[in-house]
Amino acid sequence: MWGGCWGLLAGAPLVSVGALLHALVALTQVEAANNEEPYSVELIKKNDIYGSIEHKVDVYVKVYTNSPFLVCMDLALSQKELVDPKYLWIGPNGKNLEGQSYATVTKTGKLMVRGFQESMSGSYTCTLSYDIIKTDTQEEKEKYKAYKFMVYAYREPDYTYQISVRFTTKECSLAANGQFFEGLKIHLDDLISHLTCHIIEPSYKCHVVKPPKHGLLHELFFTFKVNPFAPGWEAVCHQISYDCEDETNRRIQKARDLIEEFFHEQPLVLKHEFQNIPAIHYIDHSFEVTRIDSCRPGFGKNDVTHSDCASCCVVCDPGTYSPNNEITCRICKNIRIKYYGAKSC
Protein backbone atom coordinates (compact mmCIF):
# COMPACT_ATOMS: atom_id res chain seq x y z
CA MET A 1 0.00 0.00 0.00
CA TRP A 2 2.67 2.46 1.02
CA GLY A 3 4.73 1.45 -2.02
CA GLY A 4 1.79 2.34 -4.25
CA CYS A 5 1.40 5.69 -2.56
CA TRP A 6 5.04 6.60 -2.91
CA GLY A 7 4.84 5.41 -6.52
CA LEU A 8 2.20 8.03 -7.24
CA LEU A 9 4.62 10.68 -6.06
CA ALA A 10 7.31 9.59 -8.48
CA GLY A 11 8.33 12.39 -10.75
CA ALA A 12 6.57 14.96 -8.56
CA PRO A 13 8.47 17.73 -6.77
CA LEU A 14 10.10 16.46 -3.60
CA VAL A 15 7.75 17.04 -0.62
CA SER A 16 8.90 16.62 2.99
CA VAL A 17 6.98 14.29 5.28
CA GLY A 18 6.21 17.27 7.58
CA ALA A 19 4.71 19.30 4.74
CA LEU A 20 2.65 16.33 3.63
CA LEU A 21 1.26 15.85 7.13
CA HIS A 22 0.37 19.54 7.36
CA ALA A 23 -1.48 19.28 4.07
CA LEU A 24 -3.44 16.22 5.24
CA VAL A 25 -4.38 17.98 8.50
CA ALA A 26 -5.55 21.03 6.56
CA LEU A 27 -7.73 18.86 4.31
CA THR A 28 -9.22 17.15 7.38
CA GLN A 29 -10.05 20.49 8.97
CA VAL A 30 -11.75 21.75 5.81
CA GLU A 31 -13.84 18.59 5.57
CA ALA A 32 -14.84 18.84 9.23
CA ALA A 33 -15.75 22.51 8.81
CA ASN A 34 -18.03 21.65 5.89
CA ASN A 35 -19.83 19.02 7.97
CA GLU A 36 -20.11 20.82 11.32
CA GLU A 37 -23.19 22.59 12.68
CA PRO A 38 -23.58 26.40 12.36
CA TYR A 39 -22.12 26.85 15.86
CA SER A 40 -20.44 24.71 18.44
CA VAL A 41 -22.47 23.92 21.54
CA GLU A 42 -19.24 23.30 23.46
CA LEU A 43 -18.41 27.01 23.21
CA ILE A 44 -21.57 28.07 25.05
CA LYS A 45 -21.01 28.69 28.75
CA LYS A 46 -23.69 27.39 31.09
CA ASN A 47 -24.11 30.76 32.80
CA ASP A 48 -24.57 32.70 29.54
CA ILE A 49 -28.00 33.58 28.15
CA TYR A 50 -28.00 34.90 24.59
CA GLY A 51 -30.42 37.40 23.14
CA SER A 52 -32.69 36.94 20.17
CA ILE A 53 -33.52 39.36 17.37
CA GLU A 54 -36.89 37.61 16.88
CA HIS A 55 -38.37 37.77 20.38
CA LYS A 56 -37.73 38.81 23.96
CA VAL A 57 -35.89 36.36 26.19
CA ASP A 58 -37.37 35.59 29.64
CA VAL A 59 -34.86 35.20 32.47
CA TYR A 60 -35.64 34.23 36.09
CA VAL A 61 -33.28 35.20 38.90
CA LYS A 62 -33.67 34.01 42.47
CA VAL A 63 -33.86 36.89 44.94
CA TYR A 64 -30.60 37.96 46.57
CA THR A 65 -28.51 36.04 44.02
CA ASN A 66 -26.59 37.26 40.97
CA SER A 67 -28.18 36.99 37.58
CA PRO A 68 -26.60 34.85 34.87
CA PHE A 69 -24.64 36.73 32.23
CA LEU A 70 -26.96 38.27 29.63
CA VAL A 71 -25.09 38.33 26.34
CA CYS A 72 -25.65 41.27 24.02
CA MET A 73 -25.85 39.20 20.85
CA ASP A 74 -27.62 36.14 19.50
CA LEU A 75 -26.04 32.73 19.44
CA ALA A 76 -25.42 32.69 15.68
CA LEU A 77 -23.72 36.09 15.75
CA SER A 78 -21.47 34.98 18.60
CA GLN A 79 -19.76 32.55 16.21
CA LYS A 80 -18.78 35.34 13.83
CA GLU A 81 -16.02 37.93 13.87
CA LEU A 82 -17.18 41.40 14.91
CA VAL A 83 -15.22 44.54 14.09
CA ASP A 84 -15.27 47.38 16.65
CA PRO A 85 -18.29 46.08 18.64
CA LYS A 86 -19.94 48.50 21.04
CA TYR A 87 -22.62 47.71 23.62
CA LEU A 88 -25.25 49.84 25.34
CA TRP A 89 -27.27 48.31 28.18
CA ILE A 90 -30.42 50.07 29.43
CA GLY A 91 -32.20 48.88 32.59
CA PRO A 92 -35.89 48.94 33.60
CA ASN A 93 -35.61 52.51 34.88
CA GLY A 94 -34.28 53.75 31.55
CA LYS A 95 -30.78 54.35 32.92
CA ASN A 96 -27.54 53.34 31.28
CA LEU A 97 -26.27 50.38 33.31
CA GLU A 98 -22.62 51.14 32.67
CA GLY A 99 -21.10 52.21 35.98
CA GLN A 100 -24.12 51.31 38.14
CA SER A 101 -23.07 49.79 41.47
CA TYR A 102 -25.35 46.76 41.13
CA ALA A 103 -24.46 45.95 37.52
CA THR A 104 -21.38 44.45 35.90
CA VAL A 105 -20.92 45.04 32.17
CA THR A 106 -17.94 43.23 30.66
CA LYS A 107 -15.87 44.46 27.72
CA THR A 108 -17.52 41.84 25.54
CA GLY A 109 -21.04 43.12 26.29
CA LYS A 110 -22.17 40.69 28.98
CA LEU A 111 -24.37 41.99 31.79
CA MET A 112 -24.68 40.60 35.31
CA VAL A 113 -27.03 42.15 37.90
CA ARG A 114 -25.84 41.48 41.45
CA GLY A 115 -27.98 40.85 44.54
CA PHE A 116 -31.19 40.71 42.50
CA GLN A 117 -34.33 42.04 44.17
CA GLU A 118 -37.95 42.28 43.04
CA SER A 119 -37.58 45.99 42.25
CA MET A 120 -34.89 45.11 39.69
CA SER A 121 -37.35 43.11 37.61
CA GLY A 122 -38.33 44.36 34.20
CA SER A 123 -37.00 44.97 30.72
CA TYR A 124 -33.26 44.98 30.06
CA THR A 125 -32.36 46.03 26.53
CA CYS A 126 -29.03 46.05 24.79
CA THR A 127 -28.04 47.69 21.53
CA LEU A 128 -25.07 46.18 19.72
CA SER A 129 -23.26 48.15 17.02
CA TYR A 130 -20.36 46.89 14.92
CA ASP A 131 -18.62 47.72 11.63
CA ILE A 132 -18.84 45.85 8.36
CA ILE A 133 -15.84 46.48 6.10
CA LYS A 134 -16.01 45.77 2.36
CA THR A 135 -12.80 44.02 1.40
CA ASP A 136 -12.58 45.53 -2.08
CA THR A 137 -13.19 49.20 -1.24
CA GLN A 138 -12.43 49.16 2.51
CA GLU A 139 -15.66 51.07 2.97
CA GLU A 140 -16.99 50.86 6.53
CA LYS A 141 -20.65 50.55 7.37
CA GLU A 142 -22.03 50.48 10.94
CA LYS A 143 -24.70 47.91 11.72
CA TYR A 144 -27.06 47.82 14.75
CA LYS A 145 -28.93 45.03 16.49
CA ALA A 146 -31.18 45.28 19.56
CA TYR A 147 -31.91 42.57 22.11
CA LYS A 148 -34.54 42.53 24.84
CA PHE A 149 -34.48 40.47 28.02
CA MET A 150 -37.39 40.32 30.48
CA VAL A 151 -35.81 39.57 33.85
CA TYR A 152 -37.99 38.50 36.79
CA ALA A 153 -37.17 37.95 40.45
CA TYR A 154 -38.48 34.69 41.86
CA ARG A 155 -38.51 32.79 45.13
CA GLU A 156 -38.96 29.14 45.96
CA PRO A 157 -42.44 28.46 47.38
CA ASP A 158 -42.81 27.90 51.10
CA TYR A 159 -43.71 24.28 51.80
CA THR A 160 -46.44 23.04 54.11
CA TYR A 161 -47.31 19.36 54.30
CA GLN A 162 -50.82 18.06 54.82
CA ILE A 163 -50.82 14.61 56.39
CA SER A 164 -53.61 12.14 56.98
CA VAL A 165 -53.46 8.88 58.98
CA ARG A 166 -56.01 6.39 60.25
CA PHE A 167 -56.43 4.50 63.53
CA THR A 168 -58.76 1.74 64.58
CA THR A 169 -61.00 2.23 67.63
CA LYS A 170 -63.70 0.18 69.39
CA GLU A 171 -66.46 2.74 69.15
CA CYS A 172 -66.84 6.24 67.71
CA SER A 173 -68.43 7.38 70.97
CA LEU A 174 -65.41 6.56 73.15
CA ALA A 175 -64.14 9.52 75.18
CA ALA A 176 -60.69 8.01 74.78
CA ASN A 177 -60.73 8.96 71.08
CA GLY A 178 -60.44 12.66 71.84
CA GLN A 179 -57.85 12.08 74.56
CA PHE A 180 -55.78 9.99 72.18
CA PHE A 181 -56.01 12.70 69.52
CA GLU A 182 -54.76 15.39 71.93
CA GLY A 183 -51.90 13.19 73.08
CA LEU A 184 -50.87 12.39 69.52
CA LYS A 185 -50.84 16.07 68.57
CA ILE A 186 -48.61 16.94 71.54
CA HIS A 187 -46.20 14.10 70.74
CA LEU A 188 -45.87 15.12 67.08
CA ASP A 189 -45.28 18.75 68.07
CA ASP A 190 -42.52 17.65 70.45
CA LEU A 191 -41.01 15.47 67.73
CA ILE A 192 -40.40 18.42 65.38
CA SER A 193 -40.09 21.39 67.76
CA HIS A 194 -36.28 21.50 67.44
CA LEU A 195 -36.78 22.29 63.75
CA THR A 196 -39.00 25.32 64.59
CA CYS A 197 -41.87 23.50 62.86
CA HIS A 198 -45.25 22.74 64.37
CA ILE A 199 -48.60 21.05 63.83
CA ILE A 200 -51.45 23.28 62.67
CA GLU A 201 -55.13 22.73 61.85
CA PRO A 202 -55.37 19.28 63.47
CA SER A 203 -58.72 17.51 63.31
CA TYR A 204 -60.23 14.06 63.39
CA LYS A 205 -63.48 12.29 62.58
CA CYS A 206 -64.69 8.82 63.37
CA HIS A 207 -66.27 6.76 60.59
CA VAL A 208 -67.76 3.30 60.26
CA VAL A 209 -65.90 1.47 57.49
CA LYS A 210 -66.87 -1.72 55.65
CA PRO A 211 -63.71 -3.24 54.13
CA PRO A 212 -64.01 -5.98 51.49
CA LYS A 213 -64.60 -9.42 53.03
CA HIS A 214 -64.74 -7.99 56.57
CA GLY A 215 -67.38 -6.75 58.96
CA LEU A 216 -67.87 -3.16 60.08
CA LEU A 217 -64.90 -1.32 61.61
CA HIS A 218 -64.68 1.95 63.49
CA GLU A 219 -61.81 4.13 62.33
CA LEU A 220 -60.42 7.51 63.31
CA PHE A 221 -59.39 9.71 60.39
CA PHE A 222 -56.70 12.18 61.54
CA THR A 223 -55.60 15.15 59.41
CA PHE A 224 -53.14 17.92 60.21
CA LYS A 225 -50.61 20.20 58.58
CA VAL A 226 -46.90 20.51 59.28
CA ASN A 227 -45.93 24.18 59.13
CA PRO A 228 -42.35 25.61 59.16
CA PHE A 229 -43.21 28.84 60.99
CA ALA A 230 -43.39 27.82 64.63
CA PRO A 231 -42.58 30.54 67.22
CA GLY A 232 -38.88 31.35 66.99
CA TRP A 233 -38.40 30.70 63.27
CA GLU A 234 -37.51 34.37 62.64
CA ALA A 235 -34.50 34.06 64.97
CA VAL A 236 -33.21 31.17 62.87
CA CYS A 237 -33.53 33.27 59.73
CA HIS A 238 -31.65 36.18 61.26
CA GLN A 239 -28.59 33.94 61.43
CA ILE A 240 -28.64 33.48 57.67
CA SER A 241 -27.17 36.08 55.33
CA TYR A 242 -29.32 35.02 52.37
CA ASP A 243 -33.03 34.48 51.92
CA CYS A 244 -34.48 32.10 54.52
CA GLU A 245 -36.85 30.07 52.36
CA ASP A 246 -34.22 27.44 51.55
CA GLU A 247 -33.62 26.90 55.26
CA THR A 248 -37.30 26.76 56.24
CA ASN A 249 -37.99 24.32 53.40
CA ARG A 250 -35.07 22.16 54.46
CA ARG A 251 -36.41 22.06 58.01
CA ILE A 252 -39.99 21.31 57.00
CA GLN A 253 -38.84 18.43 54.80
CA LYS A 254 -36.87 17.03 57.74
CA ALA A 255 -39.94 17.38 59.97
CA ARG A 256 -42.05 15.56 57.39
CA ASP A 257 -39.51 12.72 57.27
CA LEU A 258 -39.49 12.39 61.06
CA ILE A 259 -43.28 12.17 61.21
CA GLU A 260 -43.41 9.62 58.40
CA GLU A 261 -40.75 7.55 60.15
CA PHE A 262 -42.75 7.70 63.39
CA PHE A 263 -45.88 6.26 61.78
CA HIS A 264 -43.99 3.65 59.75
CA GLU A 265 -42.47 2.35 63.00
CA GLN A 266 -45.88 1.85 64.65
CA PRO A 267 -46.45 -1.73 63.41
CA LEU A 268 -43.06 -2.79 64.82
CA VAL A 269 -43.80 -1.08 68.13
CA LEU A 270 -47.13 -2.89 68.40
CA LYS A 271 -45.51 -6.20 67.58
CA HIS A 272 -42.55 -6.02 69.98
CA GLU A 273 -43.74 -3.85 72.88
CA PHE A 274 -47.39 -4.83 73.40
CA GLN A 275 -48.67 -8.26 74.39
CA ASN A 276 -52.23 -7.14 73.77
CA ILE A 277 -52.96 -4.79 70.87
CA PRO A 278 -54.42 -1.48 72.17
CA ALA A 279 -58.00 -0.60 71.25
CA ILE A 280 -56.74 2.46 69.37
CA HIS A 281 -53.81 1.75 67.09
CA TYR A 282 -52.36 2.89 63.79
CA ILE A 283 -53.56 1.27 60.56
CA ASP A 284 -50.50 0.23 58.57
CA HIS A 285 -49.95 1.97 55.21
CA SER A 286 -52.58 4.63 55.94
CA PHE A 287 -50.02 7.45 55.96
CA GLU A 288 -50.67 9.97 53.16
CA VAL A 289 -48.88 13.26 52.58
CA THR A 290 -49.44 16.16 50.18
CA ARG A 291 -47.22 19.18 49.74
CA ILE A 292 -48.99 22.55 49.71
CA ASP A 293 -47.08 25.51 48.31
CA SER A 294 -47.54 29.16 49.21
CA CYS A 295 -45.81 32.34 48.03
CA ARG A 296 -44.53 35.30 50.01
CA PRO A 297 -46.36 38.65 49.67
CA GLY A 298 -45.55 40.29 46.34
CA PHE A 299 -45.04 36.93 44.59
CA GLY A 300 -47.26 34.35 42.93
CA LYS A 301 -47.38 31.41 40.55
CA ASN A 302 -48.54 31.62 36.93
CA ASP A 303 -47.81 28.60 34.74
CA VAL A 304 -49.16 30.40 31.65
CA THR A 305 -47.30 33.72 31.82
CA HIS A 306 -44.22 32.14 33.38
CA SER A 307 -44.28 28.63 31.93
CA ASP A 308 -40.46 28.44 32.02
CA CYS A 309 -40.61 28.81 35.81
CA ALA A 310 -44.03 27.26 36.51
CA SER A 311 -43.10 25.93 39.95
CA CYS A 312 -41.56 29.26 41.03
CA CYS A 313 -43.12 32.09 42.99
CA VAL A 314 -42.46 34.88 40.48
CA VAL A 315 -42.65 38.57 41.36
CA CYS A 316 -46.10 40.07 40.70
CA ASP A 317 -46.24 42.04 37.44
CA PRO A 318 -47.22 45.73 37.39
CA GLY A 319 -51.00 45.95 37.76
CA THR A 320 -51.12 42.94 40.09
CA TYR A 321 -50.41 42.37 43.77
CA SER A 322 -50.31 39.71 46.48
CA PRO A 323 -51.03 40.82 50.06
CA ASN A 324 -50.41 37.53 51.86
CA ASN A 325 -49.22 33.98 51.41
CA GLU A 326 -51.54 33.14 48.54
CA ILE A 327 -50.40 31.19 45.53
CA THR A 328 -51.35 33.73 42.83
CA CYS A 329 -51.16 37.47 42.22
CA ARG A 330 -54.44 39.40 42.14
CA ILE A 331 -55.39 42.02 39.57
CA CYS A 332 -55.64 45.52 41.05
CA LYS A 333 -58.72 47.29 39.65
CA ASN A 334 -58.67 50.43 41.80
CA ILE A 335 -55.31 51.98 40.91
CA ARG A 336 -52.58 51.41 38.37
CA ILE A 337 -49.60 49.68 39.97
CA LYS A 338 -46.52 50.57 37.96
CA TYR A 339 -43.91 48.50 39.77
CA TYR A 340 -43.08 44.84 40.35
CA GLY A 341 -43.76 43.03 43.62
CA ALA A 342 -46.73 45.01 44.94
CA LYS A 343 -48.12 43.75 48.25
CA SER A 344 -51.24 45.94 48.33
CA CYS A 345 -53.62 47.61 45.92
Residues 236-263: b if buried by 16+ CB within 10 A, e if exposed: beeeeeebbbebbeebbbebbebbeebb
93 and 175 within one domain: no
Which of 97, 121, 155 lies at the terminal end of a domain, its last residue?
Answer: 155
The per-residue pLDDT for 42 is 39
288 and 195 within one domain: yes
327 and 262 within one domain: no
Residue 288 has pLDDT above 80, yes or no: yes
In a domain, 33, yes or no: no
210 and 112 within one domain: no
Average confidence (pLDDT) over 12-40: 35
Q: CA 6, CA 244: separation in Å to the nearest integer?
A: 74
Assign 221 a pLDDT band (cuts: 50, 70, 90): very high
Which of 130, 155, 180 lies at the terminal end of a domain, its last residue?
Answer: 155
Which residue range forms the structural domain that includes residue 150?
Answer: 48-155
**Domains contained in the chain, number:** 3
- Ranges 15-29, 181-195, 209-223, 325-339: which has the least confidence: 15-29
196 and 150 within one domain: no
Residue 14 has pLDDT above 70, yes or no: no
For the chain, the helix, strand and coil percentages under 3-state DSSP, each to the nearest 5: 25, 35, 40
278 and 183 within one domain: yes
Note whether 149 and 103 are within 8 A (CB): no
245 and 286 within one domain: yes
In a domain, 97, yes or no: yes
What's the CATH number where 224 sits?
A: 3.30.70
310 and 264 within one domain: no
Assign 282 a pLDDT band (cuts: 50, 70, 90): very high
The per-residue pLDDT for 186 is 95
285 and 168 within one domain: yes
In a domain, 1, yes or no: no
62 and 112 within one domain: yes
165 and 144 within one domain: no
Cα atoms found within 13 Å of the Cα of residue 297, Cβ hemisphere only: 6
Residue 143 has pLDDT above 80, yes or no: yes
In a domain, 256, yes or no: yes
310 and 223 within one domain: no
The per-residue pLDDT for 122 is 95
Assign 46 a pLDDT band (cuts: 50, 70, 90): low
Which of 105, 123, 155 lies at the terminal end of a domain, its last residue?
Answer: 155
Residue 26 has pLDDT above 60, yes or no: no
Assign 45 a pLDDT band (cuts: 50, 70, 90): low
Does the global pTM surpass 0.85?
no
Note whether 292 and 158 are within 8 A (CB): no
In a domain, 22, yes or no: no
Of 203, 158, 325, 189, nearest to 255 (Cα)?
189
Average confidence (pLDDT) over 119-139: 88
For 66-92, how does the pLDDT look when each residue is reduced to its tens digit (9 = 90+)? 999 999 999 999 888 889 999 999 999
In the chain, DSSP assigns E strands to 48-51, 57-62, 69-74, 83-90, 103-105, 110-113, 122-133, 140-155, 158-169, 198-209, 217-227, 281-282, 288-294, 299-300, 313-315, 320-321, 330-331
What's the CATH number where 69 sits?
A: 2.60.40.10
Residue 30 has pLDDT above 80, yes or no: no
In a domain, 264, yes or no: yes
In a domain, 198, yes or no: yes
Average confidence (pLDDT) over 139-153: 92
